[in-house]
Amino acid sequence: MKIIASQLIFNDSKKLWNFIKSYTGKSFQSIADGPVYDKYKNLTTEKHEKIEIWANNFGELALETTWNNRSTDITILWSDITDALRDTPNNKAPGADGVPSEVWKLVMAEPSPTSSLAKLIHKIINLMYDTGDIPQCLETSVVVP
């Protein structure tokens, strides 16, 4: 108990979570040391072979030329957004912005984005999708134990 109390008092959430995970037997286990399949579905556990497999895999991805496929030039539909909002749980701690999910869910009943909030959500999400940029204010998360 002294360990937990100390970590709570000194606001050391990382050590606290690591202690809780190790105490409950749910500590993080890396999969980096696990076996890997090559492109012929042969399983290997040898480190140098795994490195070569990963290097070849990512090398082939870098040569991919279909990334500019016109079928990816779409916008996110309003129904996709409202479906995602519907799946967001209620009564959870808000993010760094302090806005609980119930506020975002106020626009779910709109068949198309008509309110100012709905239009803003739709525009921001599509802008992030189109540019691949996420505003810095949305990159912060808060872990509440």
Do 121 and 110 touch, CB atoms closer than 8 A?
no
Q: How far apart are CA 66 and CA 86, in angstroms?
A: 33
Sign of CA dihedral 114, 119, 121, 125: positive
pLDDT tens column, 88-136: 888 887 777 778 889 889 999 999 999 999 999 999 999 999 888 888 8
Residues 52-99 pLDDT 10s: 998 888 888 777 666 555 556 678 999 999 999 999 888 887 777 778
State how far the alpha carbon of 73 is from the alpha carbons of 64, 76, 129, in Å. Answer: 17, 10, 10
Write the pLDDT tens digit of every residue in 88-100.
Answer: 888 887 777 778 8
Joined tokens for residue 73: 């030039």
Separation CA 89–CA 97 (nearest Å): 17
Q: What is the pTM of this model?
A: 0.49
Torsion angle of alpha carbons 87, 81, 105, 144, nearest 10°?
60
Q: Are 16 and 1 in contact (CB under 8 A)?
A: no
Distances in whole angstroms, Cα of residue 58 to Cα of each of 46, 75, 127, 144: 18, 28, 28, 36
